[in-house]
Amino acid sequence: MRTQPWSLILVPAAVAALLAGAAACSSASPQPTPSQSASQAHQENSERFGQAPAMLAQCALSHGAKALLRSAEQYNRSLPSGQRWLQGTTIALTFANGGGFTDWFENGGGAGFVFGGRPLGEWPEWAANHDQLPAQVCGTTLSGAAARQLHNQVFAHDPGTLKVNPWG
C-alpha cells in the first residue's frame, strides 16, 4: 500500500495488516484461509478509513454545507497554488495536495462540523466499518457503485489511490 501524506494515520494499521497478510500468505494452501480473509477485510477497512474524510467532505459540499464550504475555501486560499485541493465545490486530491486537505480536515476545523448529531471527524470510522457513506452527511446512503463513483471523482488526479478503491 502506498503511503500518502493524507493517509499517514493508517501507517500502524497498514503495517499490522501487511504483517498479518505476510504471515497468512506463508501457508502452502492455495485456498484462502480465514486469517487471509480477515487480513484482507482489515486492509480494505483501513483503506476506506483513510479515504473516507475526503469522500465525506465532498458529500457534504455536494449537498450544500455552506459553512463547511466557507471553511474549506478559506483554508484552501491560504495554500500555495500547487497545494490547493478545492476546485470550486469539488475536492480533487493529488499526492501533492493531500497533506493540505488532511491538515484542514484534522486541524483547520473541517472535522468539527456536525452532521447527523456527530462531528464530521467521527464519520470516517463509521463509514469504513459499514462500507458505505452515511445519509446524514451525503443526503442518501452511498455504497457500492455510488461510493466507488465518488471515490473515483475525489481521487481522479491521484493514480495510486484511484486504483485502490475498496468501496463496495
Residue among 13, 26, 48 at smallest CA distance from 143: 48
The pLDDT, as a whole number, for residue 36 is: 56
Average pLDDT over residues 134-163: 96
The residue ranges of every structural domain in the chain are 51-162
The pLDDT, as a whole number, for residue 35 is: 56
Given a contact cutoff of 8 angstroms between Cβ atoms, the answer to whether 120 and 71 are in contact is: no
pLDDT digits (tens, 9 = 90+) for 55-106: 999 999 999 999 999 999 999 999 999 999 999 999 999 999 999 999 999 9
Supply the pTM of this predicted model. 0.78
pLDDT bin (cut points 50, 70, 90) of residue 34 is low
CA distance to 98, 129, 135, per residue, from 40 (Å): 25, 14, 27
CA angle in degrees (0–180, nearest 5) for 149-153-157:
135
The pLDDT, as a whole number, for residue 65 is: 97
Average pLDDT of the chain to the nearest whole number = 84
The pLDDT, as a whole number, for residue 19 is: 33
Is the Cα dihedral 72, 75, 77, 82 positive or negative?
Answer: negative
> In the chain, pLDDT over 70 holds for what percent of residues?
79
Burial of 62 (0-12, 13-18, 19+ CB in 10 A): middle
